[in-house]
Structure 1
């Protein structure tokens, strides 16, 4: 059995140990993950997926008054059905965090209002409760809404599908998150320079049950991996790790690098984007740099000096661990000496 989200092939022993065989279909579809103990953990949905569902429902409700559920195709290509509450141009969807108990945005309501466009065309307007960047960053200008590219594509695709299904010439959709500014204070947004609300994100469209899955499943994979294992922190890191190290098993560990390294028996590689890796090496790496995020630091003249120092120091502490840092295009921007 293969996970269609991560492409991980579940060991037969895990499948045999499953205590809820009826839930294995959700695992096959990517809606849940199977752990080494046989426990099935449900994936949740990202803020981007939740936003897309609310927007699609608002548009559809212009044509059929009430809408109770909508289909959304996630950035990872999997189609899911989400419950919504849509009525005459307004709809809401609450964020389902699945079995990830640490998700501070769980249950947050996303509200979309849609109106037919007299001039045709489709317009999407991020409103109250959605954060914006307080300063220019390597990828975003000051004032830009904090919506990631995959999430924005998912939202726009969902609106376009609804416009076609409702047989409209066009629409304007305004998305708000009524408690967005309040909940954002519990996230990293204030520290990374996103003000006024939450970020709308979602690389795959799913929220992973990181804590439990890391303990029961990923650590076992790391311990059993033949040869040097490649540990990576995110989806892009996983993609580039497989390209750079095709002869090794690449394993996604998120922000659990310390636990992952504890499970390694032999040599290892850490490969991925700079943010989590540099912060793991040195939590105070940004002090004195004038930068708010590691990504911002990587675009400055200080990067070579700071990254070189941290990589050399880490190599002394972990002589059997090689570190390769890549940017979002897959270019290597830092490597162990």
Structure 2
């Protein structure tokens, strides 16, 4: 059989469309800061503003909002998160600049949160503007002040209209960030459907729990398992880690930053995947091995089950074996740490099917 070399001049109609990347809130705040400084220091507001990101990319942003008064200027940019399902996509990120008493100072405007718990990269009482966005904005002040002969003493107030409402859909309330969103980003770029942001949130959740003296934390795959585990152990909100599908991301971080006790909770399907050694529990990246379940429980018909819950209905011992095997998977990943571990397996309604510890 002969094969043909694809014609590079013709589009491959079978290939999935490329996902469009976007820009972080930190990149938008930096671009807004630059535009506002241009107006404050006599250049006027541009229609579009270009910045350099930490890895050298030079995106250009259109201004969505401008305002100016005696001794201050403000610019806004609509965040474009590309094809990433980011709750802040479409939000307007504004930066207001004015002279300060010395150096660059940051303020939280409406819709930007304030840190109230230790364990985050920013100190308690500070506006929730992360270190890299701060560095990016400071770099704009330094560069433009030198070019325009200005003193680089600037107060930057970042605000996000409707940010307080949007923040309720994020981890911020649980992490102790009150009043709004965080200004985030380490590269300035949002890569579509990246796992990195979620895993970073898990890590920050562990940091906040540890800094607050919490010795027992729980990672759960969803809202139902979280509700069950929290009630079962009487845990406070800041002990509950939104693990989602990223069991490996949570457990590997705890191996280096341990607590006294860890509970992993989830539905029978995801726990079955953890039991067979999968550390990413998403349906596109791991599947339940029903033949393995059948062999473990000694019931051949389980191999024909369509779901893990159906397997439990065929052979109730499946749930207990899943809990024990999931315990073994996590225990092996924790290696020689002294973290006490327990597993809670539930059904869709939230009933506990099995526990192992």
Alignment length (residue pairs): 242
| 2:59 match: secondary structure | strand
Do the aligned partners of residues 19 and 65 (structure 1) sit closer, same or farther apart at CA in structure 2, a change above 3 Å counting?
A: farther
CA contact (8 A) 2:117 2:175 kept: no
The structure with the largest alpha-carbon Rg is 2
Give the TM-score taking structure 1 as reference length.
0.57
Are the structure 2 counterparts of residues 122 and 151 from structure 1 closer, same or farther at C-alpha, using a change threshold of 3 Å? closer
Q: CA deviation at 1:64?
A: 1.0
**Which of the numbers 26, 29, 54 marks the counterpart of 1:48?**
26
1:252-279 deviation digits (Å, cap 9, x = unpaired): xx67xxxxxxxxxxxxxxxx95969944
1:4-153 superposed matches below 5 A: 37-62=15-40, 63-84=42-63, 85-86=65-66, 88=68, 89-100=73-84, 102-117=85-100, 121-137=103-119, 139-153=121-135
Cα offset, 1:199, TM superposition: 1.1
Distance verdict in 2 for CA 1:124–1:161, change over 3 Å: farther
For 2:15 and 2:119, the matched residues in 1 are separated by: 43
Cα offset for 1:60?
1.2
Q: 1:55: how far off?
A: 1.0
The partner residue of 1:318 within 275, 296, 315 is: 275
- CA distance in 1 between counterparts of 2:140 and 2:10 reads 38
Q: Is the 8 A contact 1:59 1:166 kept in 2?
A: no
Q: State the TM-score, normalized to the length of structure 2.
A: 0.54
- Please state how far the C-alpha of 1:61 moved relative to its aligned partner: 1.2
Structure 1 residue 198, shift from structure 2 partner: 0.8
* Shift of residue 109, structure 1, vs aligned partner: 1.5
Kept in 1, the 8 Å contact 2:76–2:93? The answer is yes
Residue pair 1:130, 1:180 contacting (<8 A) in 2 also: yes
Shift of 1:38: 4.5
Separation in structure 1 between the aligned mates of residue 28 and residue 220 of structure 2, nearest angstrom = 29
Question: 1:197: how far off?
Answer: 0.8
Unaligned runs of 5+ in 2: 207-217, 242-249, 281-330, 336-357
Cα distance, 1:65 vs. partner?
Answer: 1.7
Structure 1 segments unaligned to the other structure (5+ residues): 1-11, 21-35, 215-232, 236-253, 256-271, 324-332
Q: Tell me the CA shift for residue 309 of structure 1.
A: 10
User: Is contact 2:130-2:185 (8 Å) kept?
Assistant: yes
- With over 3 angstroms needed to count, the CA separation of the structure-2 counterparts of 1:17 and 1:298, relative to structure 1, is farther
Change (3 A) 1:158 1:321: same
- Quote how far apart the aligned CAs of 1:194 are: 1.9
Which one of the candidate residues 154, 169, 180 is aligned to 1:186? 169
Provide the alpha-carbon RMSD of the alignment.
4.3
Contact kept in structure 2, 1:66 and 1:87, CA below 8 Å? no
Structure 1 residue 98: Cα displacement: 1.7
Q: Does the CA-based 8 Å contact 2:122-2:131 persist in structure 1?
A: no
Q: Report the equivalent of 1:209.
A: 192
Contact kept, 8 Å, 2:220 with 2:264, in 1: the verdict is no
Distance 1:17 1:307, change over 3 A: farther
Counterparts of 2:54 and 2:229 in 1: how far apart (Å)? 32
CA distance in 2, matches of 1:79, 1:169: 25
Say if 2:164 and 2:181, in contact at 8 Å, map to a contact too: yes
Aligned-partner SS, 1:173: strand
Is contact 1:114–1:172 with CA below 8 Å preserved after alignment?
yes
Distance 2:332 2:263 in 1: 7
Q: Within 5 Å, which residues of 2 pair with 1:224-235?
A: 233-234=195-196
- Cα pair distance change 1:70/1:161, threshold 3 Å: farther
